[in-house]
Amino acid sequence: MERLRRSIIFVILAILSIQLTYASYQWSRQDDPSLLISGYEKKMSALPKGGKLNKKPWSGDYWATYRGGISYRWLHKTNKVKYKFEDPSKLTQNQIRGLSPAEKFDLYKGDSNWTLTKLERDRTQVMSNKKIERWWGLCHAWAPATILYDSPNMIQVKGKHGHIIPFYASDMKALLTYNLHLFGGQTKTYFMGSRCNVSLPWYLKLLTLDLLSEDQYLSMVRDENCNDMDPGAVHLAFSNLLGLKKLGFVMDKTRGSEIWNQGIYAFKSTVEKTSKKRKLTWRGLKVIGKVHKIRTRVTWVNEIRHTMKRVSPDNGLRTLTYKYEIYTDNTGDIIGGKWLQKIRPDFFWRIEDPGIHSMMVGLGDLYTKSIADISQGPKRIRTRPELFNLFKRTAKQVRNSQTFIRNTRQLIASRKSQRQEYYKELKGYYLKNYKMLMQKYR
């Protein structure tokens, strides 16, 4: 009977152990790393402490809504927003130069109705007297565009009706950004976290100034989304996407109702302290594991002013530091964490390249031209006559090189013989006139 009782207890403990192990890997529905990363590594010892993308993202403007988005005449000296449309047949070269990115694209396609420009004005409602928040813009498309596309340079092309149109670097960035915007929810999107849509943003200001405790703040807000992402999931995103997979993603780096999407380029983590194995309470569970105190520096892409030519991507790179704890279980897997500061990201997301939208036909050709100086296309195949001429030139160069080497060797041998003869004559003269030289130079 006693043996049976012990067996039952053993089975129950085994089941509880299995359930505990299983439960320890259950993230909240918005913090699950698998929402953002497919097939991710979770063992801390196997994760890199730093990483960056293979190419630096470019930066640019987020094309604010209150300025009319990409209908904004950024190079124009006056009347940048509420301008009247010009007659395409009467445009001067100087006027074309100052058009908005949307107008230039319409002109390039020969669209005298300015369809894209009007669409953008309707979207932004910039011609109305409606109050428009200054943080509204195309950052939801600009941020992934900085990662998906190479940095464009200025180009000059001929439009459908013969206009010579200069597309500057900022014009191209605007069109690439708008191309992603047009796809909207049609793009394949991976999203982790949730938006903290605080109706009273001064709570966050009080929290940042330490005039409000985090418990007080959360009790006032009463919104679980404002807890933001679990730092364990955040660390897994940095180390897997940037460190292992070299995949760029976007973060909303601010907590609150305003959304500021920024592309992420690199991260560098430092483990400042690791505890010994102990019992941890995590999401109401008792887990045997370790606590790791982490400091992570993140390099992200900030907005810059409009430019005519391509500029160094370093101009838009900024850094910020996150401090948090990571919890690992008995096997070394990351199972969660705790923030050690009030500054933290709201959510992470990334998209796959959707291609060129049907409204932006022609943009692909412009983009290809704008990166022609940095893109590496397929090598040109030479013709048989070209190969024969190349062989003849190479053979001639080889013969000339051999002649030069042979002549050089002969010259060296000749000079060596001359030096030996000179030293022999000098020695004979010295021995013959030894007494006279000693008396003269004594």
Domain extent at residue 203 = 10-54+184-354
Task: Tell me, yes or no, whether 59 lies in a domain.
Answer: no
In tens, the pLDDT along 418-433 reads: 777 777 777 777 777 7
Q: Residue written as tokens 């390039």?
A: 108
CB-CB contact of 325 with 170 (8 Å): no
* Claim to verify: residue 178 and residue 198 sit in the same structural domain: no
CB-CB contact of 301 with 263 (8 Å): yes
- pLDDT tops 90 at residue 105: yes
* pTM summary value: 0.73
* Claim to verify: residue 393 and residue 410 sit in the same structural domain: yes
pLDDT bracket for residue 200 (50, 70, 90): very low
In tens, the pLDDT along 152-177 reads: 999 999 999 999 999 999 999 999 99
The stretch 72-90 carries a mean pLDDT of: 92
* Claim to verify: residue 333 and residue 395 sit in the same structural domain: no
* Claim to verify: residue 273 and residue 243 sit in the same structural domain: yes
pLDDT of residue 203: 55
- pLDDT tops 80 at residue 363: yes
Q: How many CB atoms lie within 10 A of CB 39?
A: 8
Structure token digits, residue 149: 């596309």
Least confident range from 28-37, 45-54, 68-77, 222-231: namely 222-231
The stretch 74-96 carries a mean pLDDT of: 92
Structure token digits, residue 21: 């192990």
- pLDDT tops 60 at residue 94: yes
Highest mean pLDDT among 98-112, 283-297, 338-352: 98-112
pLDDT of residue 19: 40
Task: Tell me, yes or no, whether 4 lies in a domain.
Answer: no
Greater pLDDT, 318 or 277 = 318
Task: Tell me, yes or no, whether 318 lies in a domain.
Answer: yes
* Claim to verify: residue 188 and residue 161 sit in the same structural domain: no
State the Cα–Cα distance between residues 93 and 80, nearest whole angstrom: 18
Task: Tell me, yes or no, whether 307 lies in a domain.
Answer: yes
Domain count, the chain: 3
CB-CB contact of 192 with 300 (8 Å): no
CB-CB contact of 294 with 47 (8 Å): no
Q: How many CB atoms lie within 10 A of CB 254?
A: 19
* Claim to verify: residue 124 and residue 192 sit in the same structural domain: no
pLDDT of residue 197: 59
Task: Tell me, yes or no, whether 379 lies in a domain.
Answer: no
Q: Final residue of a domain: which of 370, 400, 418?
A: 370
* Claim to verify: residue 93 and residue 190 sit in the same structural domain: no
Helix pair angle (169-183, 139-148), 10° resolution: 110
* Claim to verify: residue 270 and residue 198 sit in the same structural domain: yes
* Claim to verify: residue 175 and residue 307 sit in the same structural domain: no
Greater pLDDT, 212 or 264 = 264
pLDDT bracket for residue 23 (50, 70, 90): very low
Inter-CA distances, 435 with 284, 429, 432, Å: 109, 11, 8
* Claim to verify: residue 436 and residue 397 sit in the same structural domain: yes
> Quick one: which of 257, 259, 269, 262 has its CA closest to 231?
269
In tens, the pLDDT along 329-342 reads: 989 999 999 999 88
Q: Final residue of a domain: which of 341, 370, 399?
A: 370
* Claim to verify: residue 282 and residue 139 sit in the same structural domain: no
* Claim to verify: residue 285 and residue 325 sit in the same structural domain: yes
CB-CB contact of 60 with 306 (8 Å): yes
State the Cα–Cα distance between residues 92 and 375, nearest whole angstrom: 33
Average pLDDT, the chain: 83
> Quick one: which of 59, 51, 48 has its CA closest to 247?
51
Q: Final residue of a domain: which of 370, 405, 432?
A: 370
Of all residues in the chain, what percent carry a pLDDT higher than 70? 81
